[in-house]
Amino acid sequence: MRIHFTLNGTVRQFDCEPGDSLLTLLRRAEIWSVKHGCETGECGACSVLIDGVLTPTCVMLAAQAEGHSLVTVEGLATGQQIHPLQQAFIDTGAIQCGYCTPAMLLAAKALLDRNPRPTEADARAVLGGVMCRCTGYVKPVEAILRAAALLRGETPPLKEQAPTATRVVGHPEPKVDAVRLVKGRPVFTDDMHLPGLLHAALLTSPHAHARIRAIDVERARSLPGVHAVLTYRDVPRVVYESGGQSYPNPLPYDQVSLDSKVRHVGDRVAVVAAETPDIARAALDLIRVDYEVLPAVFDPDVAQQPGAPVIHDEADAVKIEDAQHNLATSVHAQVGDVEKGLRESDRVFERTYYTSQVQQAHLEPHVCLTYWDEDDRLIVRSSTQVPFHTRRSLACR
Ligand code: FES
Ligand code: FES
């Protein structure tokens, strides 16, 4: 279907599918300032101004934009001259990762368009629809009030810094990538679209503990648009540490990319690479897996009892502390004489505390992009990280 709406002052025509969200359409049109976050209307990162009102685009059909007027951050600057709001966000240090910044700028613009003299409470209220997991809201509120003053022709001073004896440390510095971030430039991994890019989808385990007796991927492999379907039979067994991110990878090495055994619900069973995400997902439905479901453990104390199911029974795991009792590793730390401290305490409370797995929950989706560059280096780029380079020989090993 074909739709028309005004985008940053110009009437534009777009082709889309009836089910396409406005977010999908705008990003397909390379309006990269519109960020892809939760897709459920909660984070606000995808918001644009529609007829002057901040509106999330992930929960709106593209067709609903027909005839309306949309403003994105690409429409804020005048030529090379950035908008006072953008400048104020830079000046006040209101940006960290910058993923929420475009939506914050638009929320602020909607406010200043109708109220040139907002109070701090007004500025706080208007940011209520945009989640920020890094900066918080103190600096963006300061930026909005500063921009309002700039737009009124005033020259507000930046907040006084405490005097220091240093020339750099303790003094405000604009972020090196601040201008690109306030312009909503495609600097995030999810913004990168390379020609011929294949999309991956994972088939994951529905069982907490199971062995793969058989796996049939032939129908998935023959689906048009599918380039590869990988299972444990297709990838080298390279053990690594599931919980570590640093280099060198800390012990224990308790994981391989794809295994013939799954050890938790959501564990990886197969990977599909296809020309579109939809084809990749369709291929997952064609994979048939025969599982031998094994007894599972769901409690850390039960898991360490004699006779509990052994989750890591593989022979090639390295330095698991006590595989027979499902203890991967343990950490001991002591500051001072703990026993003495306990003896001398007025009260001693002994409790056991449990917490669920914690995710740092950045707004940008988890994305990983890999490609060979012109110097034959394997580039691996993942969410909120700068690219790092690996020699092809190292990647192959
Ligand atoms: S509100 Fe649309 S991506 Fe989160
Ligand atoms: S600066 Fe707001 S999400 Fe990172």
Can you spell out the DSSP letters for 145-173? HHHHHHHTT--PPPPPPPP-S-SSTTS--
Q: What are phi and psi of 99, to 5 degrees?
A: -70, -35
Distance 56 CA to ligand 1 centre (A): 6
Asked whether the beta carbons of 387 and 368 are under 8 A apart, the reply is no
What secondary structure letter does DSSP report for 310? P
Distance 389 CA to ligand 2 centre (A): 26
| Atom nearest to 133 CA in ligand 2 | 3
Closest ligand to C-alpha of residue 93 is: 2
Closest ligand to C-alpha of residue 129 is: 1
| Atom nearest to 23 CA in ligand 1 | 2
C-alpha–C-alpha distance, residues 203 and 280, integer Å = 10
Which amino acids bring their CB within 6 angstroms of ligand 1? Answer: 36-39, 41-46, 56, 58
Best residue among 26, 34, 43, 131 to mutate for probing ligand 1, ranked by most atoms within 8 Å of CB? 43
Residue type, 225: G
Asked whether the beta carbons of 131 and 43 are under 8 A apart, the reply is yes
CA atoms within 13 A on the CB side of 87: 16
* Paired sense of beta strands 69-71 and 2-7, if any: parallel
Residue carrying structure tokens 């380079």: 389
Tens digits of residue pLDDT in 138-178: 999 999 999 999 999 998 877 766 677 888 787 778 889 99
Q: Environment class of residue 343 by beta-carbon count within 10 Å: exposed (0-12), middle (13-18) or buried (19+)?
A: exposed
Distance 59 CA to ligand 1 centre (A): 8
| Atom nearest to 134 CA in ligand 2 | 4
| Atom nearest to 58 CA in ligand 1 | 2
Q: Environment class of residue 245 by beta-carbon count within 10 Å: exposed (0-12), middle (13-18) or buried (19+)?
A: exposed
pLDDT reported for residue 19: 93
**Which residue's C-alpha comes closest to atom 3 of ligand 2?**
132
What's the Cα-to-Cα distance from 157 to each of 14, 104, 176, 325, rounded to whole Å?
45, 22, 22, 63
Distance 287 CA to ligand 2 centre (A): 39
pLDDT reported for residue 363: 86
Closest ligand to C-alpha of residue 48 is: 1
Q: Which domains does the chain have, with CATH numbers?
A: 2-75 (3.10.20.30), 84-161+168-187 (1.10.150.120), 190-352 (3.90.1170.50)
Distance 39 CA to ligand 1 centre (A): 5
**Which residue's C-alpha comes closest to atom 2 of ligand 2?**
132
Best residue among 38, 90, 104, 133 to mutate for probing ligand 2, ranked by most atoms within 8 Å of CB? 133
| Atom nearest to 363 CA in ligand 2 | 3
Closest ligand to C-alpha of residue 37 is: 1
| Atom nearest to 43 CA in ligand 1 | 4
How far does the chain reach from its first CA to its final CA, in angstroms? 48
Give every CB contact of residue 319 below 8 A, 6+ residues apart in sequence: 251, 252, 253
pLDDT reported for residue 384: 59
What's the Cα-to-Cα distance from 138 to each of 94, 134, 189, rounded to whole Å?
8, 11, 27
Distance 36 CA to ligand 1 centre (A): 6
pLDDT reported for residue 125: 97
**Which residue's C-alpha comes closest to atom 4 of ligand 2?**
97
Distance 105 CA to ligand 1 centre (A): 15
Residues of the chain where predicted confidence (pLDDT) is lower than 70:
160-162, 244-246, 360, 384-397
C-alpha–C-alpha distance, residues 368 and 267, integer Å = 18
* Paired sense of beta strands 226-230 and 368-372, if any: unpaired
Q: What are phi and psi of 226, to 5 degrees?
A: -90, 130
**Which residue's C-alpha comes closest to atom 1 of ligand 1?**
41
Dihedral angle computed from the Cα positions of residues 208, 211, 215 and 221, in that order, rounded to the nearest 10 degrees: 50
pLDDT reported for residue 390: 36
Distance 37 CA to ligand 1 centre (A): 5
* Paired sense of beta strands 199-204 and 226-230, if any: unpaired
